[in-house]
Amino acid sequence: MVTVLIVDDSRTSRRFLRNMLTEAGYEVVAEAVDGEDGMKKYEEFKPDIVTMDITMPKLDGIDAVSEILKINPAAKIVMVTAAGQKTNIVEALKRGAADFIQKPFESSAIVSVLEKVMGE
C-alpha cells in the first residue's frame, strides 16, 4: 500500500484529502500543519508520497519542497494549491515537486496525479 503524508495548514483540507486517499486505497501515515512540521514528519515516517499545500505559516510549501529533497532527493511531492497561484506552482516544480493538484479537487483527479507520480 502506498503511504502518504498530508501537509496543509487547513484542518478541513487535511480531513478531505485523508478521506479521499483512504477510500482510494492509500495509507495516510501522518499529517502536518506547516512545512516545518512536514519536514519532521517526512523524516519520521518516510512516506512514499507527500501532498503539500503551498501557502502555510512558518515554512511555506515551496521552501519545504527544497528541504525535503535535501533529506531525500528521490522524494515524490505533489503540490496542492488554490487556483490562481501559477507563479508559485512553477516555482515549486522548478524546485523539484513532481506535480500539482488545484483546489477544489475531485477524488479521480487526485488519484490520477498520484498514480502518475508513483509511476503506476
In degrees, rounded to 5, the angle at the alpha carbon of residue 119 between the alpha carbons of residues 104 and 73 is 90
Residue pair 79/97 in contact by the 8 Å Cβ criterion? yes
Domain boundaries 3-105, corresponding CATH code: 3.40.50.2300
pLDDT tens-digit map of 12-50: 999 999 999 999 999 999 999 999 999 999 999 999 999
pLDDT tens-digit map of 66-116: 999 999 999 999 999 877 778 899 999 999 999 999 888 788 889 999 999
Q: Whole-model pTM?
A: 0.94
Q: Collapsing DSSP states into helix, strand and coil, what is residue 19?
A: helix
